[in-house]
Amino acid sequence: MDTIFTRRTMLAAGAAGAALASTARPSSAASLTAGDVIERMKQHIGGPWREGGVDGYKVGTPETIVIGVATTMMATFDAFKAALARGCNMVITHEPTYWSHPDTLTYIQDDPLYRVKRAFLEKHNVVSYHLHDHWHALKPIDGINAGTMQLMGWTKYMHADNQRLFTLPPTTLLGLARDFRNKMNDRTLRVVGDPQMPVRIVYESWGNCSQFPGAQFMNSEADVLVIGEAQDWDLVEYAQDLVSSGKKKGLILLGHVLSEQWGMKYCAEWLKGFVTEVPVKFVRIVEPYWNLRHPAFELNPKI
């Protein structure tokens, strides 16, 4: 890739869009609140709405009037700018707003970036709702898994008795890695195992996966476990050792964002089924990293 984009070039565009969005409030939708949207989600999730997890309002209140809903994988600053530029002030995010799974604020009260991000969101009347646990609990299929299998064209390969298992047309570990790279535009995915290893059965654990239960997934009938991220001294070492012990196994790490964000695209489609007064958009976020083969820090060109 020849062109090097920087986020700064998009900052101006994002801010301009945000200003536009905050002044353009369609009067017909003035009555829809964030609380209305969440209540409808609770009706459609297909199971109980449990307290105690990480899900909930991280910015804004249920009373906030919603002019548009954006779903996104991770509530980065960029994601908020893009959402506002596209006329959405309610962001439903799978990953945190404030840089830790439970959005812990204790240690970041005086953090300069926390203050800037919070002020920006308050100024633009933004609601950030963390939808992690319940989206994984969507019935009949985990919402993240549903979106990722749609992207991969794997819906017909899913095992009837375990939605995390897929039997694919025969390929190799390298072939499967290339398929992910091409369909997810994933430049920085990383693989453990013999590239020529034959692959038919894949176990998914999109997002983070630790040694427990990852080791059990790797010891299942699956040839390959595909995940978002893991720690090198934990599941990754386990995978290396399985290979070293002679087992024909592979582990693919797609990156956390790229392994799950298709599930939030699916979330936008799901929301459109019962949120019709305002626009519902999916905000794709960029691959968080670059590598030496592709030294470009890309931005979402759709912002």
Partner 1 sequence: MATTTAVAPANSMFRVQHTGPLTALQIVDKIIAQSGASGRAKTVDRITAGDPTAAVTGIAVTAMATFDCLKAAAAAGCNLVVTYEPVWWLDDDSLDRMEGDGLFAAKRDFLRAHNMVVFNFHDHWRDRAPDGIAAGMAKALGWEGYIADMSHPATFRLPPTTLLGLAKELHTKLGDRTMRMVGDPRLPVATVAAIWGNAEQMATIHLLNGSADVVICGYTHEWEAVEYAQDMVAVGDKKGLILLGDIKSVEGGMQYCADWLKTFITDIPVTFVPVAEPYWNPADLG
What gap in Å lies between CA 74 and CA 80, rounded to an integer?
A: 10
Residues numbered 105-124 forming contacts with partner 1, rule: CB under 8 A: 107-108, 111-113, 116-117
Instruction: Closer to partner 1 by CB, 163 or 172: give it.
Output: 172
Q: Which residues pair with 33 in a beta bridge?
A: 65
- Closest by Cα among 239, 231, 160 to 194: 239
Site string for partner 1, 126-165 (x = CB under 8 A): ----------------------------------------
CA 269 to chain centre: 15
Q: Which stretch binds partner 1 (CB under 8 A): 28-36, 138-146, 236-244, 266-274?
A: 236-244
User: For residue 4, which amino acid is it?
Assistant: I
> Which of 25, 190, 200, 248: binder of partner 1 (CB under 8 A)?
190
Contacts of 81 (CB under 8 A, 6+ apart): 10, 11, 14, 15, 17, 18, 303
What gap in Å lies between CA 295 and CA 251, rounded to an integer?
A: 25
Strand pairing report for 224-229 and 198-208: parallel
What gap in Å lies between CA 293 and CA 1, rounded to an integer?
A: 9
Return the half-sphere exposure (C-beta side, CA atoms, 13 A cut-off) of residue 265: 16
Site string for partner 1, 274-293 (x = CB under 8 A): --------------xxxxxx
- Closest by Cα among 118, 94, 90 to 21: 90
Instruction: Closer to partner 1 by CB, 186 or 204: give it.
Output: 186
Residues numbered 198-217 forming contacts with partner 1, rule: CB under 8 A: 208, 211-212, 215
> Which of 22, 240, 269, 279: binder of partner 1 (CB under 8 A)?
240
Distance in Å, CB of 292 to partner 1, minimum? 6
Distance in Å, CB of 50 to partner 1, minimum? 21
Binding site residues, partner 1, CB under 8 A: 4, 6-8, 11, 74, 76-78, 81, 95-96, 99-101, 107-108, 111-113, 116-117, 174, 177-178, 181, 187-192, 195, 208, 211-212, 215, 219, 228-229, 231-242, 244-245, 247, 253, 255-257, 288-297
